[in-house]
């Protein structure tokens, strides 16, 4: 099926690959689809629902039918478009969605059941009996669903992400895009040109077109070389997938899909985030098929695709080809085929002014199961048969408007062109040129590319340039025939709209009959446009059917929402680097190595690694933890708390921000003082707690829990950018900038004074005081706050001094009968004091639940205040209480609480344990938990039951504070 002297492939570089185990001959530059067609193979896939045999419909990324799996084993990549995948030596290609083979697929029996499997059948069929869903329906549907199959296991392909900035991003390397890039770079702009093909030119590569007396592809090749020489960054094999806020665009680059043996460091894909000051969309247009009965057989292709295979790959999709067109474009295909020596069986055109030689009529049926063998034409009231093995169809063109709709805009219906065109200013900073704007001549594309680029440069303040427009085709297209299609009479003669999802004209009409007349409802009821091609070939045809069925115009019917990505994007590419440490980076404090040298096991706290305990000879974790907790209560302990979130807040409106995000008031906080605060989500539940220090008139430092540091920072950014952008306040995360060490215990003041130059007394640093100090000659900060219930301080220095400070303080503490303590002891100390962490504030508790509802100020508003007052959040709640084992048993976190005599059933559950430990101060197991109406049940005895660990014990309900309830130790 190769045509001599046609195509841009390199016939001097033959290649071999396999398709379903059969060796296939190809040439460098072939795609899988072009090579298979060249070898006479039209059957390449099976449809999703009915498993009907399908061949390629297109020659580009909009392909709905020819989806294959490339490679084998763990490297297999399913749902690869055969029209895009370039061939290389040794490539393995397999058909999918068929068993036991592509030609003999058992699941094609679904096609016989088509009368029972129409639109919405699953909504009606699987409702009863109810018990059958989980045991029968769902397992069967899951086994039948999908197209290709994932190989399972971790993704072995290396992926990459990249970031770029430019003045002008040009999307599309056709004539409009090339001219736009040329204009922009001549004006001195920084330009990125992205095109999804492996070479620039767009339709110039697939047409018999002349520009300035040269072949279109040759002109494009020369322009590409010139642009690259002038500094344009050209990204081939790159599809711009989405338009986002702030001039940001996502783009997928297929880096090594075409390489036989890629270097280990070469990624499979690269996902780009491109920030562009201006964007020129020159993505061309998509030809639409015609919905006529049995229009889905292998061999039925778009007329533009037939020309593409002819001119770019030197392949005729058939030996005897018919053309069915509602516009002039189909006649162009017939002319090119005849000039190449391919027999044109017939040209069918329904228009009253069809060109001479065309049959004025329409195709009403096709023949051939695994490949087209003939068509039936209705003309002059009669039927006639035409033998052919390929049919080129053209129903007009749809501008590629998708990127213009990614920020909520809808395209505008153009009755003259009978298609949707981009709406002006749909995406800020984006302009549209060429066929994407509804300009369907080569000369028009060149001119609009230049003019649009000039306008973009003017908006950027660039210099004006004069750009010559080369001579090209100026023949404007004539108006196409109406888009109306007839409903087929029987289920045996279905007219297909969405080829991949097997949606027919009848399905859309059925949706309208059942009152799914909204275009979005029709889409979901029929699944039209929900496949990997996202309805690129079917949307306008389906809208025409829906409009006809409801008696509305297409402009009244509207269009479905286009969302990114424009083409399927591997999740691995979007999350490139997000595996292993890239997914969960191991964040280490500055004193990490000195702590490890002391034998401390490092445990995860969020993404941070902190010391669990510091064992001495012969100690297990419990003995070490008990010793460290007792040491803090008796003398002094040193703990690194650098992982706590630290957010610097400055500006005239800093106090307003704090009052708005905290439940209590911070605008009254004096300089040099610290205040504890509680933060709510908008739904009234507790988000986080922490302290905020006022270091200057307009300068505050907020401290968050380790786990919620990122969440709180995002929350503050949302408030300042969206809720109150008028506030003059700046926020900055400084967690990594400061190392912070807690010094706690009766001897804490003496230890701190030994390293701080300024006097540290009850008068200079009372409880909840803060200030800047000099620490062993280094400027730092000192906070008198406590998370242990003891007299305590937190000493902060720039991070580069953190390890040295911790080591120095530990050495001094050991001379005072103290030493370091880890997370386990810290947890014991805070449970003894009834302090909450995210073990308690899990996202489902309120300020009322933890006994802090009085912290919600009645004098001001704050986020979540009104929601927190909902009656359901104030009565009959599980309230935080303390728990003590009374029978020598041990409490365990996660255990549940029951009455002493009530049965152990879910409906008898009274609450649960959130934190538990052995208290060296009390000599027993204690904990914190939530108990229904718990504050009214102090002194009551319950059963703790842990089914997972098979542990039970009797507990007494107490107040949450187990040690020093009046707080005298911390305030002393």
Model pLDDT for residues 427-454, shown as the tens digit of each residue: 999 999 999 999 999 999 999 999 999 9
What is the predicted pLDDT for the residue at 113? 73
CB 953 within 8 A of CB 822: no
Q: How far apart are the first and last CA of the chain?
A: 94
Query: In terms of Cα–Cα distance, which of 486, 62, 129, 504 is closest to 302?
Result: 62
Q: Which residue is listed with tokens 């937190």?
A: 794
What is the predicted pLDDT for the residue at 486? 47
Indicate if 778 and 633 belong to the same structural domain: yes
Radius of gyration of the chain (CA): 36
DSSP β-bridge partners for residue 702: 647, 692
Helices (H), 103-164: 109-112, 121-125, 132, 138-144
Q: Which residue is listed with tokens 């210099």?
A: 463
> Per-residue pLDDT tens for 667-682?
999 999 999 999 999 9
Indicate if 416 and 381 belong to the same structural domain: no
Indicate whether 601 belongs to any domain.
no
Provide the CATH number for the domain around residue 406.
Answer: 3.50.50.60
> Domain end: 544, 576, 608, which one?
576
Pairwise CA distance, residues 573 & 490, whole Å: 45
CB 453 within 8 A of CB 184: yes
Query: In terms of Cα–Cα distance, which of 623, 726, 746, 740 is closest to 693?
Result: 740
Q: Per-residue pLDDT for 703 more than 60?
A: yes
For every residue of 54-99, which 3-state class applies, written as one string? ECCCCCCCCCCCCEEEECCHHHCEEEEECCCCECCCCCEEECCCCC
Number of domains in the chain: 6
pLDDT band at 370 (very low <50, low <70, confident <90, very high): very high
Indicate if 281 and 295 belong to the same structural domain: no
What is the predicted pLDDT for the residue at 40? 95
> Per-residue pLDDT tens for 795-851?
999 999 999 999 999 999 999 999 999 999 999 999 999 999 999 999 999 999 999
What is the predicted pLDDT for the residue at 35? 97
For the chain, give the mean pLDDT: 93
Pairwise CA distance, residues 563 & 250, whole Å: 12
SS3 content of the chain, % helix, strand, coil (to 5): 25, 30, 45
Tokens of 571: 């999740």
CB 659 within 8 A of CB 855: no
Pairwise CA distance, residues 591 & 751, whole Å: 19
Tokens of 396: 């007009």
What is the number of residues in the chain? 972
What is the predicted pLDDT for the residue at 759? 97
Position with higher pLDDT, 826 vs 137: 826
Query: Which of 351-360, 488-497, 511-520, 712-721 is most confident?
Result: 712-721
Position with higher pLDDT, 759 vs 1: 759
Classify strands 67-70 and 77-81 as parallel, antiparallel or unpaired. antiparallel
Provide the CATH number for the domain around residue 549.
Answer: 1.10.10
The string over 759-769, giving b where at least 16 C-beta atoms fall within 10 Å of a residue's C-beta and e elsewhere, is ebeeeebebbb
Q: Per-residue pLDDT for 490 more than 60?
A: no
Count Cβ atoms below 10 Å from residue 2 Cβ, excluding itself: 17
Indicate if 758 and 629 belong to the same structural domain: yes
Indicate whether 612 belongs to any domain.
no
Indicate whether 517 belongs to any domain.
yes
What is the predicted pLDDT for the residue at 822? 97
**For residues 739-747, average pLDDT:** 98
Name the helix (H) or strand (E) containing 329: helix 328-339
Indicate if 390 and 404 belong to the same structural domain: no
Name the helix (H) or strand (E) containing 35: helix 32-38
Indicate if 515 and 571 belong to the same structural domain: yes
Pairwise CA distance, residues 768 & 786, whole Å: 9
CB 446 within 8 A of CB 175: yes
What is the predicted pLDDT for the residue at 335? 95
Indicate if 914 and 780 belong to the same structural domain: no
pTM of this structure = 0.80
Indicate if 424 and 348 belong to the same structural domain: no
Query: Which of 104-118, 255-269, 690-704 is most confident?
Result: 690-704
Indicate whether 846 belongs to any domain.
no
What is the predicted pLDDT for the residue at 109? 86
Q: Which residue is listed with tokens 């083409």?
A: 567
What is the predicted pLDDT for the residue at 972? 86
Q: Per-residue pLDDT for 295 more than 60?
A: yes
pLDDT band at 584 (very low <50, low <70, confident <90, very high): confident
Indicate if 248 and 224 belong to the same structural domain: yes
CB 772 within 8 A of CB 779: yes
> Per-residue pLDDT tens for 305-320?
999 999 999 999 999 9
pLDDT band at 484 (very low <50, low <70, confident <90, very high): very low
> Domain end: 104, 123, 142, which one?
123
Q: Per-residue pLDDT for 891 more than 50?
A: yes
Question: Who's near 560: CB < 8 A, 6+ residues apart?
Answer: 519, 520, 523, 529, 535, 539
CB 48 within 8 A of CB 147: yes
Tokens of 304: 């533009």
Tokens of 463: 């210099």
Q: Per-residue pLDDT for 721 more than 90?
A: yes
Cα 828 versus chain centre, distance: 41
**For residues 552-576, average pLDDT:** 89
> Domain end: 521, 556, 576, which one?
576
Tokens of 478: 């004539």
Indicate whether 59 belongs to any domain.
yes
- By residue range, what is the domain housing residue 954? 869-971
Indicate whether 477 belongs to any domain.
no
What is the predicted pLDDT for the residue at 479? 58
Indicate if 296 and 337 belong to the same structural domain: yes
Give the Å distances, CA to CA, from 868 to 114, 678, 931, 936.
54, 13, 19, 21
Dihedral sign of CA atoms 558, 436, 393, 58 in order: negative
CB 302 within 8 A of CB 60: no
Biggest CA–CA distance in the chain, Å, is 109
Tokens of 312: 């770019």
What is the predicted pLDDT for the residue at 923? 94
Indicate if 912 and 963 belong to the same structural domain: yes
Indicate whether 851 belongs to any domain.
no
DSSP per-residue string spanning 596-641: HHTTPPEEEETTEEEE-----TT--HHHHHHHHHHHHHHS-EEEE-
Tokens of 465: 């340039």
What is the predicted pLDDT for the residue at 141? 72
Indicate if 793 and 658 belong to the same structural domain: yes
**For residues 614-619, average pLDDT:** 95
CB 805 within 8 A of CB 710: no
Indicate whether 490 belongs to any domain.
yes
pLDDT band at 373 (very low <50, low <70, confident <90, very high): very high
Looking at the chain, the whole-number percentage of residues with pLDDT higher than 70 is: 98
């Amino acid at each position: 099926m190769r045509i001599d002297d046609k195509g841009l492939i390199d016939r001097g570089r033959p290649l071999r690959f396999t398709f379903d185990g059969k060796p296939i001959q190809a040439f460098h530059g072939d795609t899988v689809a072009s090579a298979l067609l060249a070898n006479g193979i039209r059957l390449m896939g099976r449809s999703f629902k009915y498993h009907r045999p399908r061949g390629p419909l297109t020659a580009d990324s909009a392909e709905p039918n020819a989806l294959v799996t490339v490679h084998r084993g763990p490297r297999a990549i399913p749902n690869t478009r055969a029209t895009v995948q370039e061939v290389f030596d040794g490539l393995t290609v397999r058909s999918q969605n068929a068993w036991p083979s592509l030609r003999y697929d058992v699941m094609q029996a679904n096609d016989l059941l088509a009368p029972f499997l129409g639109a919405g059948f699953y909504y009606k069929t699987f409702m009863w009996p109810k018990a059958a869903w989980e045991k029968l329906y769902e397992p069967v549907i899951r086994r039948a669903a999908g197209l290709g199959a994932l190989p399972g296991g971790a993704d072995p392909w290396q992926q990459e992400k990249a970031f770029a900035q430019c003045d002008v991003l040009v999307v599309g390397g056709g004539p409009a895009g090339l001219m736009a890039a040329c204009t922009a770079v001549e004006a001195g702009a920084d330009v990125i040109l992205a095109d999804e093909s492996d070479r620039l030119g767009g339709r110039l590569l697939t047409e018999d077109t002349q520009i300035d007396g040269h072949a279109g592809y040759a002109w494009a090749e020369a322009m590409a070389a010139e642009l690259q020489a002038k500094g344009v960054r050209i990204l081939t094999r790159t599809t711009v997938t989405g338009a986002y806020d702030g001039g940001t665009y996502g783009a997928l680059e297929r880096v090594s899909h075409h390489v036989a043996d890629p270097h280990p460091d070469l990624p499979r894909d690269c996902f780009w985030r491109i920030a562009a000051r201006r964007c020129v969309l020159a993505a061309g247009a998509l030809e639409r098929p015609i919905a006529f009965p049995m229009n889905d057989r292998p061999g039925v292709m778009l007329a533009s695709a037939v020309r593409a295979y002819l001119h770019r790959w030197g392949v005729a999709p058939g030996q005897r080809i018919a053309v069915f067109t509602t516009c002039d474009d189909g006649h162009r295909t017939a002319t090119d085929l005849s000039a190449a020596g391919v027999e044109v069986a017939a040209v069918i055109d329904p228009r009253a002014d069809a060109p001479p030689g065309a049959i004025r009529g329409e195709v009403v049926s096709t023949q051939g199961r695994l490949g087209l063998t003939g068509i039936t034409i209705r003309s002059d009231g009669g039927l006639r048969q035409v033998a052919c093995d390929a049919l080129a169809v053209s129903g007009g063109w749809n501008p590629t408007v998708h990127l213009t709709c990614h920020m909520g805009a809808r395209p505008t219906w153009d009755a003259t062109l009978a298609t949707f065109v981009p709406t002006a200013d749909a995406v800020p900073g984006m302009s549209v040129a060429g066929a994407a704007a509804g300009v369907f001549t080569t000369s028009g594309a060149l001119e609009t590319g230049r003019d649009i680029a000039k306008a973009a440069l003017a908006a950027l303040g660039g210099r004006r340039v004069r750009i010559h427009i080369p001579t090209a085709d100026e023949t404007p297209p004539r108006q196409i025939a109406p888009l109306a299609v007839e409903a087929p009479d029987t289920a045996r003669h279905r007219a297909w709209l969405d080829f991949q999802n097997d949606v027919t004209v009848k399905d859309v009409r059925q949706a309208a009959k059942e009152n799914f007349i909204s275009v979005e409802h029709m889409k979901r009821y029929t699944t039209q446009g929900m496949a990997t091609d996202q309805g690129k070939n079917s949307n306008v045809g389906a809208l025409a059917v829906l409009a006809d069925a409801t008696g509305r115009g297409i402009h009244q019917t509207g269009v479905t929402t286009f969302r990114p990505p424009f083409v399927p994007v591997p999740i691995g590419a979007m999350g490139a680097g997000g595996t292993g440490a890239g997914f969960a980076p191991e964040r280490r404090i500055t004193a990490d190595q000195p702590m490890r040298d002391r034998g401390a096991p490092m445990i995860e706290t969020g993404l941070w690694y902190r010391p669990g305990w510091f064992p001495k000879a012969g100690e297990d974790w419990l003995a070490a933890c008990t010793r460290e907790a007792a040491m803090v209560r008796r003398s002094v302990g040193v703990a690194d708390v650098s992982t706590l979130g630290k957010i610097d807040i400055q500006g005239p409106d800093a106090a307003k921000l704090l009052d708005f995000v905290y439940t209590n008031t911070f605008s009254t906080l004096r300089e040099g003082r610290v205040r504890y605060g509680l933060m709510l989500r908008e739904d009234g539940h507790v988000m986080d707690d922490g302290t905020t220090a006022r270091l200057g008139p307009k300068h505050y430092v907020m401290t968050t829990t380790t786990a919620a540091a990122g969440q709180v920072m995002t929350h503050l950014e949302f408030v300042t950018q969206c809720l109150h952008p008028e506030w003059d306040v700046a926020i900055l995360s400084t967690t990594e900038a400061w190392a912070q060490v807690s010094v706690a215990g009766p001897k804490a003041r003496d230890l701190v004074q030994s390293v701080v130059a300024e006097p540290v007394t009850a008068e200079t640093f009372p409880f909840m005081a803060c200030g800047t100090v000099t620490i062993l000659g280094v400027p730092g900060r000192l906070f008198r706050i406590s998370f242990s219930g003891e007299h305590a301080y937190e000493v902060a220095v720039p991070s580069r001094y953190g390890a040295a400070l911790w080591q120095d303080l530990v050495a001094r503490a050991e001379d005072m009968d103290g030493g370091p303590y880890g997370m386990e002891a810290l947890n014991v100390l805070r449970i003894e004091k009834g302090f909450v962490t995210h073990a308690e504030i899990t996202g489902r508790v309120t300020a009322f639940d933890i006994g802090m509802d009085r912290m919600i100020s009645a004098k001001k508003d704050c986020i979540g205040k009104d929601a927190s007052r909902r009656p359901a959040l104030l009565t009959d709640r599980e309230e935080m209480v303390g728990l003590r084992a009374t029978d020598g048993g041990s409490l365990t976190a996660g255990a549940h609480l029951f009455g002493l005599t009530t049965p152990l059933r879910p409906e008898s559950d009274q609450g649960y344990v959130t934190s538990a430990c052995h208290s060296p101060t009390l000599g027993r197991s204690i904990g914190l938990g939530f108990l229904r109406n718990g504050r009214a049940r102090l002194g009551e005895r319950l059963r703790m039951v842990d089914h997972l660990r098979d542990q039970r014990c009797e507990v007494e309900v107490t107040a949450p504070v187990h040690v020093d309830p009046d707080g005298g130790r911390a305030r002393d």
